[in-house]
Amino acid sequence: MKFATWNVNSLTVRLPQVLDWLNAHTGDEAIDVLALQETKTTDDKFPRAEFEAAGYQVAFYGQKTYNGVAILSRVGLTEVVPGFAVGDPDPDARIITAMCGRVRVSSVYVPNGRSLDHDHYQYKLRWMSQLREHVAALCAPTDDVVVAGDFNIAPTDLDVYDPKKFVGATHVSEPERASLASLCDWGFVDLFRQHHSEGR
């Protein structure tokens, strides 16, 4: 199976590009599952018909102007969970999970954090903790699971173009990195780093 993830920053604006990209990948290169973030559209305006015409089942969880996540699958789509499966409801549309064939897939848009002294930063850390609880509630580490999306966290200094410019900023703070490491320790592998050990 081929998985892809894309922060589209408005599906309304970029729908033609997404469809063109999917249609350009055919045969052995076809994308089986696509996770989308920042769709920025309400559920009633999600372009379901266009994706279905391209051969995909869709699950989406939207919000006007901000956030929004979706999963497109051509290998089946069941057991859809919009939002977190456990804990307090998140006011933002930032996670959706579904079974795509035999793989449980989550599309996530992790909060930015804004700045280390901002309430949004604490929200981000709580969100990451709840993400780990969500995964653990739905899966076992031995299951086939993919969590894809925009994490807004650079796991190591290899993931930023100039570490000195990010000192004291979000995305690279130790608590954020620890929250991502905790998720990986549950049983995940950072596939990007596995295939690009030299950095970005």
| Nearest of 75, 110, 96, 189 to residue 138 by alpha carbon | 96
Question: What is the pTM assigned to this prediction?
Answer: 0.96
- Using alpha carbons only, give the angle 67, 71, 74 rounded to the nearest 5 degrees: 160
Is residue 146 within 8 A of residue 99, CB to CB? The reply is no
* pLDDT tens-place string over residues 87-129: 999 999 999 999 999 999 999 999 999 999 999 999 999 999 9
| Separation between Cα atoms, residue 123 and residue 182, nearest integer Å | 17
Query: What gap in Å lies between CA 176 and CA 145, rounded to an integer?
Result: 22
Q: Are 84 and 95 in contact (CB under 8 A)?
A: yes
Q: Which residue has the tokens 């509630």?
A: 137
Note the pLDDT tens digit of each residue in 124-183: 999 999 999 999 999 999 999 999 999 999 999 999 999 999 999 999 999 999 999 999
What is the rounded distance in angstroms from the CA atom of residue 70 to the CA atom of residue 88? 21
**Which one-letter amino acid corresponds to residue 62?**
G
